[in-house]
Amino acid sequence: MKNNYTACIILFITVLVLMSFSMSKQSKFYYAYAEKIYLNKLDNKLIVRYKQNKKHDKKQIRSYLGLRDEYIKWKDESTCVIISEPSKMSSIKNKILKQVDVKTINPVYATNMGLEMGVTDEILVRFNKGVSQKEIDKLHKEYNVELVKTTKIYQLLKVPNGADGLEIANKYHESGLTRFSHPNFICDVELHQTIPNDPYFINQFSLNNTGQVFADGHSGTNDSDIDAPEAWAITKGNNNIVIAVLDQGLTSDHPDLPNTRQIRLNGSNFADGDPNNPSPTFNSNHGNACAGIIGATQNNNEGIAGIASNCRIMPIRIFNADNSGITPQGLADAIGFASQNGADIISNSWGYNSDDPNLHPVIRDAIIAATTEGRNNLGCVVVFSGGNNFENDGFVHFPSNVNVTGVLTVGASDRFDQKSFYSPLANPASQNNQVIDLVAPSHRAYSNQIATETFEAWSIDTPGNAGYNPVKSSDGGNLPVIGSILPGTGLNNLSYTGRFGGTSYSCPQVAGVAALILSVNPNLTQEEVFEILTETSDEVGGYAYINGRSNELGFGRLNACGAVTEAISTTLIDGPNLVCTSGSTFGLDALSAEVPVTWTSSSNISFPSGNTGSTVVAKAYSSTSSGAGWIEAAISGACGNVTLPRKDVWVGPPSFTLSGTTILDIGMPGIAIVNYSNGDHFSQGIQNSDWSFTGPLDYVNGDAMKAHYRAGRREGGVGFIYATQTNQCGSSENRLFFEVEEPFFMLVSPNPANEYTELNFYGGDEISEYQKSSPVMVSVPMGEKTQELGEYEIQIWNERKGLVKQMKSKSKKLQIPTNNLEEGTYFLHVIVNGKVHKQQLKVQR
């Protein structure tokens, strides 16, 4: 036990010593708000800022310091980083200090994450609210800084020549007057692209062409690729997106494409053999190679990298064991099978040696059904390779040339952004739909076209000696060498091949990028995917593009990053329509977590945990915030910046007013209407509506939009109708003032009349319970609560003779002579305050 105790003491002391040593190396730091971020000084770098533009004198500076070009990295016109061996840095620094036009010279630091931070003569400061201008001026004077720029967010300050900007920035923050104060660091901003650790990825020139040597001593032109790594910084795909590969089949549980990422369905083999097994037979590897470029696993330290490695592959076998094709009916069934079983994209690297676009109507109609009825009527994205022809620039094969809207016809470009020798040349004048929509990189030529060229595209292979590795046959010329192995080394090297190519390789690249597009926006139609792919293609090769299309490359070479970025611009933000003080989460679920997203909002919304990242928590700015609001996301990526469509939300409890009937007669009905501020009960998330009242009403019955109520039958008076609206954030109440008037009632008696009839008006206490309910009494609302009737007009009308008597009065009791009227039926019109009240009158003797 004692020995164990002694060992613990020694270990503890050792840890303290190591921590002390580490902290001594990190004695420099800067403040990020209240947090100290420690910096490690780099012994092999200095950052120098000159008083003026010195970049044009770089040769002279290099010569004076005795450095080559690669040891001086210019950051702007007057700032550079000097790089050399640590043993030489002291001498170099002394030489720099002798230059009279040097403003500052500082070490270059690095954070614990390795991000290099260069300190110059500028610092960024934001003062706390309530700090007076007098305090600010005093601090500026103390450190002799120059105010360069002021914005709502910061002040940019220049420190004196030779001063330590890092130290001064820290002093500002330690004064307690600043929200933040730190150097205006010079540090590299990364283009967010993802380079996977798959060992053969370096050979996948079509995805990332840096001019590297990848096979047979070949290299290409920098950036003659589809910009896959840049696209992967945005998305590597979504597991819900399914790509059907109609081909020779896909190996079950391939080491780079396991069954967890395959959808292997019963009935998916339309060729010979087991109908439920879509695996390849013998040396058939074409299906593996096509599926691999779409979906091979990324970052598993093995093999290649697929374009849409988070999506799933649905293998469908359409070739027999002897590589013969199946019937047109079988192909139509296979296309229908893919569409009806959830395929979003159908990749087809096959065709017939015919340029007739209607060669097999059953196949054409199957394609039409897939592109219109698939994906719940959004349409499957259907991609075909254009074909490989040796003579006369070839032709576009059926069904790639099928005249169906949205079907993608894919040709091949090479590692130099030129049309591959075998790729068909479009002929817009042809009646047989001889067009190429776009191209993707593949091998340059066959060895019978150029003696030193052959298959050089990389993908997965049938494990073991089957498949394309080792090589079983040449390409029609003398290459590749039969029996040669590529790759010859590496983990499971015989499960991969570097001997694939043709438009067969280009087609699945387009299918893979289509999968990335649907990963960020699965609501796009197949025609919209077609538009995105073609509109974002790069017009390369120096060919003539007329209305954006060339005969050689169609709309151009596939650009994955551009396509995904364009798709993002159509993406809707995920999240609720209501934001409370408790907070709501919004996000862009399809994006990689590394994507730089910046969120903004209306002023009644805040982001308590920051406003960056693929998801964000938004909350109502305060407990009193209520009203319409919005959330917006901006993405900055290697292919450009994109602002997504703004999402409208409601913030806080409901906001509404009431309007409607406010003056009622006794026993009469009315309506109260809810007027929602900047929205309706759906947008405000109304969950419950309660109604109540005070005053002379019998009842109120209402819903979220309005209420019906009725005045009491006994008395007038005033009161309020109350509405309480509740959503997830809370409740709000509003009220409507109303008044119930006691009307006059008029009675005509006797009726039938002989010599006269009498008109009597009753109001207030004069109205007995019997009179109120008497069917012969007519309510005459006066518009005010008073017993003063005012002047009214009497008219007596006869159906045959028209108006027979007319008179005016102010009396509440009026005798109307009828002795001069013939027997019969008349109509008594009493006009009060412009309103006509009618009563039938009979004259009978």
What CATH code is carried by the domain that includes residue 350? 3.40.50.200
Distances (CA, A) of 812 to 581, 756, 788, 808: 63, 16, 9, 12
- Mean pLDDT, range 664-682, rounded to an integer: 91
Task: Give percent of the chain with pLDDT exceeding 90.
Answer: 67
620 and 717: one domain? no
The number of residues making up the chain comes to 845
Which of 692, 717, 741 is where one domain is finished?
741
- pLDDT at residue 21 in the model: 40
What percent of the chain is predicted at pLDDT more than 70?
91
In-domain check, residue 8: no
Assign residue 800 the CATH number of its domain. Answer: 2.60.40.3080
- Compute CA distances 163 → 21, 117, 348, 790, whole Å: 27, 17, 66, 94
Task: Evaluate whether residue 188 is within a structural domain.
Answer: no
347 with 294: CB under 8 angstroms? yes
| Per-residue pLDDT at 20 | 42
Task: Give dist(CA 360, CA 369) in Å, integer.
Answer: 15
**Cβ–Cβ < 8 Å for 166, 184:** no
Sequence-ordered alpha helix ranges (H) in 26-184:
58-65, 86-97, 133-143, 165-174
pLDDT tens profile 748-799: 999 999 999 998 887 655 554 444 455 555 555 544 444 456 788 999 999 8
pLDDT given for residue 788 in this prediction: 59
Coil, strand or helix: which one is 18?
helix
Residue 439 contacts residue 554 (beta carbons within 8 Å)? yes
Task: Band the pLDDT of 613: cuts 50, 70, 90.
Answer: confident
Together in a domain, 521 and 630: no
Distance CA 539, CA 758 (A): 98
Which of 651, 672, 701 marks a domain boundary?
651
Whether 205 is covered by a domain: the verdict is: no
- How would you label 749-775 residue by residue, b for 16+ Cβ within 10 Å and e otherwise? eebebeeebebbbbbeeebeeeeeeee
Q: What is the mean pLDDT of residues 695-715?
A: 91
Confidence band of 186 (pLDDT split at 50, 70, 90): confident
Mean pLDDT of 731-743: 89
Output the pLDDT for position 590. 66
- Whether residue 71 contacts residue 20, with contact meaning beta carbons closer than 8 Å, is answered with no
What one-character DSSP code corresponds to residue 215? Answer: B
Residue 295, SS3 per DSSP: helix
Question: Which pLDDT does position 112 carry in this prediction?
Answer: 82
Specify whether 517 is located in the same domain as 629. Answer: no
> Considering the domain boundaries, does residue 199 fall inside one?
no
Query: Do 544 and 599 reside in the same domain of the chain?
Result: no
CB 204 within 8 A of CB 305: yes
- Per-residue pLDDT at 75 exceeds 90: no
Residue 193 pLDDT: 61
Judge whether 288 lies within some domain: yes
By annotation, the residues acting in catalysis are: 247, 286, 504
> Does residue 21 fall inside a structural domain?
no
Q: List CB contacts of 594: < 8 A, sequence separation 6 or more.
A: 192, 194, 233
Q: Are 314 and 430 found together in one domain? A: yes
- State the DSSP code for 398: B
- Evaluate whether 404 touches 364 at the Cβ level (below 8 Å): yes
Domain interval for residue 763: 744-843
Tokens 């933040």, residue located? 180
Same domain, 433 and 301: yes
Q: How many degrees, rounded to 5, is the angle at CA 233 between CA 229 and CA 237?
A: 90
Q: Are residues 803 and 817 in the same domain?
A: yes
| Model pLDDT, residue 189 | 54
What whole-number distance in Å separates Cα of residue 844 and Cα of residue 754?
A: 6
- As a whole number of angstroms, the distance between CA 513 and CA 529 comes to 10
pLDDT in tens, 128-170: 999 999 999 999 999 999 999 888 888 999 999 888 999 999 9
Weakest-pLDDT range from 189-203, 248-262, 579-593, 722-736: 189-203
User: Is the Cβ–Cβ distance between 639 and 561 less than 8 Å?
Assistant: yes
Regarding predicted confidence, which is higher, 55 or 627? 627
Does one domain contain both 55 and 134?
yes
Residue 398 and residue 337 share a domain: yes
Biggest CA-to-CA distance, the chain = 137
pLDDT at 787: 45
Mean pLDDT of the 274-281 span:
97
- pLDDT per residue over 647-668, tens digit each? 999 999 999 999 999 998 888 8
DSSP 576: -
Residues 789 and 806 in one domain: yes
Query: Is residue 784 domain-resident?
Result: yes
Helix (H, G, I), strand (E, B) or coil at 511: helix
| Nearest to 220, CA basis, from 366, 418, 10 | 418
- Write down the pLDDT at residue 595: 77
Distance between CA atoms of residues 626 and 729, nearest Å = 9
Confidence (pLDDT) at 69 = 56
Q: What is the pLDDT of residue 570?
A: 87
φ/ψ of residue 103, rounded to 5: -85, -55
Domain stop point among 741, 760, 790: 741
| Count of domains for the chain | 5
Asked whether the predicted pLDDT for residue 3 surpasses 70, the reply is no
Q: What pLDDT score does 80 carry?
A: 86
Give 439-480 pLDDT, tens digit per residue.
999 999 999 999 999 999 999 999 999 999 999 999 999 999
The candidate with the shortest Cα–Cα distance to 387, out of 351, 414, 428, 415, is 351
Q: Are residues 589 and 440 in the same domain?
A: no
Q: How many angstroms separate the CA atoms of 559 and 196, rounded?
A: 19
In this structure, the answer to whether residues 560 and 683 fall within a common structural domain is no
CA distances to 319, 328, 433, 801 from 396, rounded to whole Å, are: 21, 19, 8, 93
Q: How confident is the model at residue 827 (pLDDT cuts 50, 70, 90)?
A: very high
The pLDDT assigned to 191 comes to 46
Residue 604's CATH number: 2.60.40
Q: Rounded mean pLDDT of 518-522?
A: 93
The tens digit of pLDDT for each residue in 306-344 reads: 999 999 999 999 999 998 889 999 999 999 999 999 999
Question: What is the reported pLDDT for 188?
Answer: 63
SS3 content of the chain, % helix, strand, coil (to 5): 20, 35, 45
Q: Is residue 213 part of a domain?
A: no
Write down the mean pLDDT value for the chain.
Answer: 89
pLDDT attached to residue 78: 81
Q: What is the pLDDT of residues 538-588, one digit of tens each?
A: 999 999 999 999 999 999 999 999 999 999 888 889 999 999 999 999 988
| Residue predicted with more confidence, 827 or 744 | 827
